[in-house]
Structures are given as structure tokens and as C-alpha cells.
Amino acid sequence: MKTLGSLKFRNRFVDSLPADSDGSNHCRQVLEACYSRVKPVRASAPSLIAYSREMAQTLELSTPLEEPETFVEVFSGNRILPGMSPYAACYGGHQFGNWAGQLGDGRAIGLGEVVTSEGQGWELQLKGAGPTPYSRRGDGFAVMRSSVREFLCSEAMFHLGVPTTRALSLINTGDRVVRDMFYSGNPAPEPGAVVCRVAPSFLRFGNFEIFAARGDVDTLQKLVDYTIKAHYPHLGEPSQEVYLEWFKQVCRDTATMIVHWMRVGFVHGVMNTDNMSILGLTIDYGPYGWLEGYDPGWTPNTTDAGRSRYCYGNQPRIALWNLARLAEAIYPLLKEGDILGDILNSYAETSARSYAEMMVEKIGLQQFQGELGEESGDGELISDLQRVMQLAETDMTILFRKLAELPLEKDGAPEELLELLMDAFYEQDDLKSEYKEEWLDWLLRYRTRARQDGTSDEERRMKMNAVNPKYVMRNYIAQLAIDKAEKGDGSLVDEILEVMRHPYDEQPKHEEWAKKRPEWARHRPGCSMLSCSS
């Protein structure tokens, strides 16, 4: 473990790419530059709320317990260590399907890239540490509620096995930040906070789009070449052939990430192209949510409530749409529209195949039987499960854990199987009358299909429980942690983080966090719908 003062930094992004020639920190259009140099704003009375010991270990960094004052000073933004080179990146993006122009790091400030003893680089980024030239009408700060959500979900997703950016620390700034939580004309001061986010890179699709939109092909090529050299060196020196291989890899990584989202019931909520990581990592935890009542059309984002563009069921399709925008952005370097189109088509095929394979794993089958896209075989079994799950409000997480417990090796009344699933339903009476026969029919077909594999109940249970989490970062759980953290108490953040470290395990002491969403949370702000306000 290293002390903070002995950390080694490299700054490949700022050393390799063109900088903003204007050194002032006021909102403006930044041209022919990949970033602007900025400094965090000093927090008045910073204090530690929580930190991730796993991320500290990955960085080979001493914990806050060993250097409490220094840790808080550095990761609140109050102290810049030797070797750090703070900056904010320039990027654009398509937001809700429309080109939004320049966006950029409006409340995120990169500190530098820590290099571990194995040579792995990790970029440290403070979110909520003050304004940058890209803050537009914002103040560059963040409130505690959004910061707790980002901190907890980043780490929860890591332990779930979902590709993600990480979080090192959550710090109370001691300052108040005015926000209108639902853009309803009721702004109010809230506790401010800073999250230290960590990733190999925070590059997004929008970093490339902005230069293509401006016709700045020279800077676009510099950025693409840098990205390949820094993060895809195995592809070789940048060339037209390597650009295509790189785009293929981005498509594959994106498909993998989305399938993991679908597996655990995660809904990002704001899949704008500026929120899509070039490395296929989940990035920018804003108005996200978790499917509780299974509904493919559900979105947690109030801004998207009318169109549901970014709902759970649309995520694979939206990822393809976003990849098409990235293809358009790099087209000036290639002039190979047909090949890019072929790669996008392969994404769609890869995504469909990966989704089917993931779903048969979720229901404990050995492998997918039938043709993809055909309403027969396992495809029909899976689509019918998804249909009956919508007949009555069905908790997705609990249902798949309960399915794993069904005794399918022995004969028995299907009613007994249905009774074992009852904890997954919010209105259990619906399953005892109106929708009973459809569920019984599905369960009989499922039992017949599962027996074909010759898998024992115990083996099937172990396989299913390895891919179906028992604990997920439900919004109401995060909100309870927020309620305490806003009072300066990080104890519940720590408790929930500990539970989320083992999301697939039975944890008898923490059964309360595996239960269905309580009725009081159905419509409470922060527990159901959320906005982008942070």
C-alpha cells in the first residue's frame, strides 16, 4: 500500500492531446481542443462519508483510516498532489435522440492517472468539485442524494459482475447546493458532496462526436489514435484497418455491458451518447433504477416518462442507435460506410445471441434450444415467462431466485410450484385467481424442459444463483442511505455497501435488503421516479 504522497501519476490524456488555449474558467465553446485545464473549488468543511476498500486496494492506496486528513483533503478537491494535472474534457452528444452540441465535463474534474505496480492506469475524477468551461447553466457542484446513489451503485455493479466505472470515496463538502429536484419550480438548498470516480478512461462516444460535428477531422484523428494506443494497444498501430477493428471491439464491449444490465434488471435511465463509455463501462449513474415490478416499458427518468425512450426493454436497441452515431463520427477517418454498417449488423446479432444465452442461464438451462428470433423452443419459453411476469406485478430479482428453489426432479402438483413463488408477487391474490392457469401452464412446460437437461435440482440451483442476484441496489434502499448521509451519518451507506459486496450469497443477517419494495416507497421521491437533477 502507498501513501497518497507516494502515488505515481501519468497524464497521457492531457500530455497527448490538444489543450484549450484559453486558461480562464468561464462557460464557452471550446474549439480544436480535447480538454480545458481547471482546478476544483475548495470545500468549506469536508468530511468522509464512505469509501471503497476494494478500490483503494486496487489503487494500492492506503485507506482513510491511515491518512484521514490528507485523504479527505485530496478527494474533496482541496489539495492537488504532485503529478496531478486537473482538467475537464470536451465532448458533445445526442440527448434523447437529438444533437445537443457541446456538453463536456460540467461537474467532473479529472485529477490524473494513477499507475499501479502492474502498470495498470486508473483515472481519478472528482464529480461535484466545481464549475468548468462546460458547466453551461450549472454550478459544477453535486448534492448528497445523487452522490450517494452514484457511489453505492458503482460499487454494487462491480460486485454484480457488470462492467462499470468505480467509486473510491464519498465526501460531504460542508456546503449547501441549491437544486430543483423535479424541475418543478421549487429549488431548495441541499447538502453538497463529491464522489471520486475511478476508471481506466472516462472517454465517451460524445468525445468523438463533437469533433466530427464541427468538421475538425484533425483533432478527431488525434483522439482516435490516442484511444487506440492508450487503451487498445493489442490492435496495433492506428491505421484504417485498425480503426475498423477498434470499432468492432467497441461494439462487442457495448453488447456485453447491455446484456449484463438486462440480466440484473438495471435501467440506466439516460442513455444519451455522452453517457456511453468507449470502453463498454456503465458510466454516469444519474436517474437509474432497478426493475422491481417486471415491466419492459419502465423508465426511472421523469424526463423520459412520456416517451420511455430509455426504458428497460429498449436498452439493446438504443445501444445500437448510439453505436450508429459513433460510426457516423469516425466515418471521416474511414470512408467505409458499408463496412461500418456490417459491423453494426454484427452487433445486433451478437446482442441477440448473448441475450438468449443469458436468459437460458437465468432459468437454469444448459444451452439455448431453437433458432434465435423464432417463437419456438426455448425462445417461446422465455418470451412466455416475460409475458406472464407482466400479468401481475412480479419482482424480477426475487422471482429468479425463487425459480432456482423449485423441486423439478420429482412429480408434484403444479400448484405447489406456484405456491413457492408467491413471495415474488406484489398482489398475491391475482396469482390465486385471474392469472393462475397461465402461470401453471408455464411452470409445467418449464419443468418438462428442465428435466431434458438431466441437471439435478441442486446443480440447477447453484447455476441459477450464480447469475441471478439476491441483492440489488434498489432505489428505496439507496434513499434510506441518503436520508442518513444528508445528516452526516454514513453508517447505512457502509452497511448497504457491505451487503452489496456479496449480491449472490445468502446473507441471513441482511434478509431485509432482499425483500420486495415496501408500499411506502412506491411513489416516494427518490424511490420510484427520479430526475437528472444533481
In sequence order, the 6+-apart residues with CB closer than 8 A to the CB of 10 are 112, 113, 115, 121
| Helix, strand, coil share of the chain (percent; to 5) | 45, 15, 40
DSSP secondary structure string, 267-335? Answer: E-S---GGG-BTTS-B---SS-EE-SB--TT---BGGGTTT-TT-GGGHHHHHHHHHHHHHHHHHHHH-
pLDDT in the model for residue 439:
95
Judge whether 253 counts as a catalytic residue: no
Name the catalytic one among 105, 274, 295, 395.
274
> Structural domain boundaries of the chain?
4-202, 207-362, 377-454, 475-521
Name the pTM for this structure.
0.96
- Written as one letter, the residue type at 7 is L
The pLDDT tens digits of the residues spanning 97-111 come to 999 999 999 999 999
State residue 434's pLDDT score: 81
Name the amino acid, one letter, at 6: S
pLDDT at 487 (0 to 100):
94
Residues in the chain where the model's pLDDT stays below 50:
none
Give the per-residue pLDDT at 529.
72
User: What pLDDT does residue 237 have?
Assistant: 97
**pLDDT for the residue numbered 416:** 93
pLDDT digits (tens, 9 = 90+) for 455-497: 999 999 999 999 999 999 999 999 999 999 999 999 999 999 9
Q: For residue 534, what pLDDT is reported?
A: 52
